[in-house]
Structure 1
Amino acid sequence: MPWRLFSSSFPMIPLGDCIHFLGSLAKMTFLLFRLSSPVSARQCLYRMQGRSIVYMQKTPEEYKGNVASEGITIAKFGASWCKPCQKSKTFIEELSNKFTSIKFIEIDVDELPQIADEEGVKSIPFYKFFKNGMLVQEHIGGDKDQLQELILKIQQ
């Protein structure tokens, strides 16, 4: 008779599946308790699922809070109608998975025009690199290799 989880009123679950699930749950719980912020917890969950972490900014306050935070933050300014912006979306997601200690955020210039104006965005895609709340680099265009070089330079 196969092992049963809980009681006979629940469907039978093979013991191997239970152990796999409980092992994953234990790893996730351990990582979540080690993390200090909800954003970090979300990053942990997404990374465990193999999903990219690029946060779409909804308000000016959210944007300002993210760029003022500790660590490295890369802000990408773009628009839904911009072909180069859409093309760069794929490799920004790849970079977010490669450089896990960096926070990647995205700002739609049509949804947050006041932020685009304040930040001096004249062309898209446009990137701003922040380190510990200070602007350290700006970049226009969507070349993956150039962005990766800039990230490596800023990390040093």
Structure 2
Amino acid sequence: MLGPALICPIGTALERTERTERTERRLPPHAVLRPDPDLLAGLEPQRQAVRKPRGAAVPETARRFREETLVGLDAVGTEALARIRSNWRLSEQPEGNEPFARPTLILTGRQDEFVGHPDQFVLLVHYARAGFAVLDVVGHNLQIEQPHLFDTLMLEWLDLVEAES
């Protein structure tokens, strides 16, 4: 492997049984720091609760979520997601081997209520050359919510990987 980019990784705490139940993960409460009061008006009522914006709720974020993320979630269906969830655990933990000594990037969102951000710090022990960033005003869709910062960090990581390949 040339070097991983871990975007909103789950860290080492895998389980979360109910959406409303907090688990072994340390998760922040739902927060929208840059709200747009008219933003949810265009969403169907059943999607408002499930697909609430996190971090920055601005029209561009909503548009990209609709066009880039929601399409995939709708296409995969609940049965396929249930099959994926039933095989969630890996047979070998990647962080159980020798420390990984190639360029790595770990990006998390401070307002990510799905995987959180504090639990990912433990990954730094294994990824000896990891760049690590916790982006503020960002939920679980950091590539959409902070695209310029995301692109800058990804391009820097790609340059490091290319220089060593």
TM over 0.5: no
Q: Which has the larger radius of gyration?
A: 1
Structure of greater relative contact order (alpha carbons < 8 Å, 6+ residues apart) = 2
Q: TM-score, normalised by structure 1?
A: 0.26
Structure in which a larger fraction of residues adopt strand: 1
